[in-house]
Structure 1
Amino acid sequence: MAKTNPGRFFEDYTVGEVIAHAVPRTVAEGERALYHALYPARHALYSSDVFAQACGLDGSPLDDLAAFHVVFGKTVPDISLNAVANLGYAEGRFLRPVWPGDTLRSVSEVIGLKQNSNGKTGVVWVRTTGLNQEDEPVLSYVRWVMVRKNDLHAPAPETVVPTLKPALDAADLVLPEGLDFSGYDFVQAGESHRWGDYVPGEIIDHVDGVTLQEAEHMLATRLWQNTSKVHFDTTVRPDGRLLVYGGHIISLARTLSFNGLANAQMIVGLNAGMHANPAFAGDTVRAWTEILDKAETDAPGVGALRLRLVAVKSGAEPGKLRGDDGKYLPDVLLDLDYWALMPM
């Protein structure tokens, strides 16, 4: 009897199936230190207990995207071990902070299936929830992924494509209990720009760039216990290249956005996301952001900005996303639509 896990293939999924993922993970200050070293993240709320306490929290939580990566990584052996590509995200909600010492686990429900016309692959939609040691949901999101078939003669399942919100409403956002930006320290945060300084339609060029290194993206992916073969095994892809984990690009772009959005402290909603083109070691990544919308919240001094964060290869023009044919330009790596909290 085989003892090893070859991973699931497209024909192994059923709509409505609930998958409890192994292995729970207790996160600590080490995850924060590595996250800040790899990208390097530097938003004040996630860097300083003193700053976070002045904003009404008990201390500095784990970075929101670090929590996302941990929850995501749990799902890979069951959802995307045999994936061709991770295609997109929707309806992502950050429901409560993750604190050092919390233990996270992940559960996914299959909510959609569609076999591709080539008969060799299909798209699987799942809604994943990350829970802490108290069984409290800390985040939830939908993603869809293209997965290989193992048995090409397996019949195609009934097509079910879930209806997803194009964007979360401001009322859908969950703010951390006690969050208060009324005494916000702009000097310590690094910039003076506040919620009222941003205008829908504004484009911000984040200026800085980072060249991807093989060792760094592999270390980051291992940190999240993401075991997808395309990130580590050069024999998996026909071109013999290691694909950079899309989440690595998300965190890198978010970190680059600090220059111009240092006060966009917390991500609370993930409206949509698309990995437009693959990234490889040697690519230099830059980022720009478009301000999409603004909303007030009930928390003291806290406003919400809806932002489109775009990661591109060096040389791409800020603000340019698609060609005349409506397709993403070849230098666009990531198109991420999210809600962030900022002092008013």
Structure 2
Amino acid sequence: MEMDTTDLIARARAGDHNAFRDLVQGHSHELQVHCYRILGSLQEAEDALQETLVSAWRNLGGFGQQSSLRTWLYKIATNRCLSMLRATSRRPRIAPPLPEATLPEPSGAGDAPPWLEPYPDVLLDHLVDQRPGPEARYETTEAISLAFITALQLLPPRQRAALVLRDVLGYRAAEVAQMLDATQESVQSALKRARATVDNHLADSSSTGSSGTGNRRPARQPDTAAEHRLVARLTDALERADLDALIELLVSDVRLSMPPAMLEYRGIESAQRFFAAATFRPGRSYRVVSTRANGQPALGLYLADPHASVYRAYALLVITTADGQITAITGFNTNVMTRFGLPRTLPETD
């Protein structure tokens, strides 16, 4: 394998585009996920990946092989992401006003940053094959969860990059320092602050009204039979407009959030008021299509058009569960639904 890689590098340096493609294609997917973790946006992760590959092609002659090709690519991708985060286009976007004028007051501003987007599970198929290094603190399934991605977005950019490189990918502190052109001391300082922020957010996100004492929820096996039953009950409640049945599925301190609106509803009472005022307004009916995002169940929600025999895309709901109940629902607008292969409309009848 090493001989093959060495040969590919030599041919790519000589200008062989096919050799370069073969050289990097095994890394492209995990690099996209890496960029998504740092940027919180699939579209921006795709842009960062393309810029990373262009930079790698142009600078392959300077790759001295003191590190592995994978590490070199991660360094380029990380710094590309940091440059994007510094750009003015990364300023928080102004959220459009919510259409329902009768919505209850939110519980607070919430933590979800306005540029957060979900990541389709279909793109994660090969991620589980990437074993993190021995230094990693987070399991692969946890490190793609919506709660973890949200927590990352709360960090300053360099703390974010240091934590992902060290605690998700498992690079040693010296390697992280080299990749970020920083000292080991500054990396360790950044990691200390970043870990406190992320672990506190995850502990808060995973609380379900019980007095749990763990720093972080344990990684769980996704897509279980119990989870399927819970999603089926939620689907049924939405399609029957049964508010009581929906509320039964929620933990007492459930969170509802809707990026890019930096608002959060927390608790059963707030959730009940929200669903009654918005989702289950008189005259509304829905159809639901199941999918998955960030290793979690997700639902494409379609609203009946009163003027046509179709249901139109309304929102993508990403569901966080624990112990057979729903702990959080994060709603995204219809712009993300095509990423999940979801149509813009559904027929009135099957």
Fold-level similarity (TM above 0.5): no
TM-score range, shorter chain: under 0.3
**CA radius of gyration, larger in:** 2
Q: Which has the higher contact order (CA 8 A, sep 6+)?
A: 1
Q: Which structure shows the higher strand fraction? A: 1
TM-score of the pair, normalised by structure 1: 0.25
Q: Which structure shows the higher helix fraction? A: 2
